[in-house]
Amino acid sequence: MGVSRLHFHDLRHTGNTLAADMGVSLRNLMARMGHDNERAALIYQHASNQADRKIAEGLSALVEGARKPENGDGPDDDDGMAGSLVRVG
């Protein structure tokens, strides 16, 4: 390629690290690289800000989805007695 200090392995490592950041499974990384054990493929699954952001966004979506009532009413639209103070005695 004519680029000094750039090796084929550098390109391979970058490509596989980017694939891991995109969420490619460990099994698919192994197949892509021709590895037969997980230990070798785990090298490419670095922690990254991008992966951390995807996890945070996914968790946020789960929490927001759990907060929304199924009938579309908001949390303050309950006309029942739940949460009301009741005089005792």
pLDDT digits (tens, 9 = 90+) for 26-65: 899 899 989 898 888 888 777 667 777 888 888 899 998 8
Nearest to 23 by CA among 56, 54, 1: 54
In a domain, 81, yes or no: no
In a domain, 45, yes or no: yes
Please give the tally of structural domains in the chain: 1
Helix, strand, or coil (residue 30) = helix
Most distant CA atoms of the chain, gap in Å: 90
Query: Band of the pLDDT at 20, cuts 50, 70, 90?
Result: confident
Segments forming the whole domain that contains residue 46: 8-67
In a domain, 80, yes or no: no
Whole-angstrom distance, CA of residue 25 vs CA of residue 7: 26
The predicted model scores a pTM of 0.50
In a domain, 75, yes or no: no
Query: Band of the pLDDT at 86, cuts 50, 70, 90?
Result: low
Q: Which two tokens mark 50?
A: 């991008």
